[in-house]
Chain A
Amino acid sequence: MSSTYWPWWAGAIGLALTTVNYTLVTDRSFGVSSAWDRVLHWRRERRIERMDEEFTDDQALADALAAATAEHFGTGTGPSAEPAIPYGTSRPVEAVARPATCEPPATTNPRPVPLVTQAALLLSIFVGGFVAAVTSGRFHLRYDMGPGFRNLVTADPATMIALLFAGGVLVGFGTRLAGGCSSGHGLSGCGRLRPVSIVATTVFFGTAVAVSFLLWKVI
């Protein structure tokens, strides 16, 4: 059965290509659990996106006002004009707006990608997985999780459903509490050598190893 799977190096290249391509095009790191989280809380995310758009508009308005003021008073030509606007309304706007948008790039995360692109990511994972399963001849509609799960965990359908659900809850809760999953912390974060991601990856991998040994040898 394992002969239908890729050799290790092909998998490594595939995963690396996925991560590097995403970062190059979007200038962000990708994470499947955050995509899930944002799609699940889409109402709140849409609200934030709308506020963001309005804020951008406000800033554009403030910039236009400042430019018009400078043009009218002829102060926008040289650096000497800067301290000459003691009561300028553009000053406080800038003071408030700048920290949110123009902090040094090294210390802040860029703006999140649009919500719809995260939904597209999840759908595409499904399509990619489907194409892989069909083209490799592995696709097979079934009501169990395969012989591995049956032998190692349980053969009883009701227990299987309960364990899958409980495991899913742990995965959902845990990834969001830890701020990432095997793609966000494991690939993108470790690829950037971020300490938080290295700690998270070591801990979730170590725990999975311990639990897997328990399932294999003890239970």
Chain B
Amino acid sequence: MRTRGAILLANIITGLLLGYTVSNIGFGDYAQLNRMFTFQDPRMLLSFAGAVVIIVCAFALLRVRRTPERIHAGVVPGAVLFGTGWAISGGCPAIPVVQVAGGYLPALVTIAGVVVGMRLCRWVSTRYLGLDRGSCGL
């Protein structure tokens, strides 16, 4: 079941579904995103919150195990930086890819920024902070 082929296929299907869904919800549209974050239009917010509710129920039904993870020192400052960057550029790590796919060429610059930021984070945290940053799930 969980062979290399199955995992590859799952990643391809997940990517296609995620890209298709995120684009059709409107996360790639900066005006829509700002309207969500300023509560002018609850549609995208409800999509996200609704998804979380469905996932919580599905995982509970399927008895998906939880991996306890401590709240390490990087969580809050990292989330503040991410939130700021998301509101300014309109991109979380998947969105600029969807934006470029929709024809927004300047989003390539956002991707370049994400690449630099991630490399910088690994460099800084291993060299200066010695932080155990945990993982995004993998």
Contact = CB atoms under 8 A, between A and B. Distances in A.
Nearest to B66: A192
Interface residues of A, number: 132
Contacts of B66: 106, 192-194
B85 to A, nearest CB: 3
Contacts of A122: 15, 97
Contacts, number: 535
Contact of A208 (B44, B86, B93): B86
Interface stretch (A66-74, A76-84, A86-94, A166-174): A166-174
Given A5-B25, A125-B18, A174-B85, A196 B7 contact: no
Contact of B110 (A16, A20, A31, A167): A167
Given A179-B134, A187-B51, A8 B46 contact: yes
B69 A129 contact: no
Contacts of A174: 77-85, 117
Contact of A117 (B8, B19, B21, B65): B8
A14 B26 CA distance: 13
Contacts of B56: 190-191, 193
Given A139-B103, A164-B89, A178-B78, A18 B117 contact: no
Given A140-B103, A208-B37, A16 B55 contact: yes
A55 B130 CA distance: 26
Interface of B: 1-2, 4, 6-26, 28-34, 37-39, 41-44, 46-56, 58-59, 62, 64-72, 74-94, 96-107, 109-122, 125, 131, 133-138
12 contacts: A11-B24, A29-B137, A33-B93, A38-B138, A121-B14, A170-B81, A171-B110, A181-B136, A186-B48, A191-B52, A209-B39, A216-B34
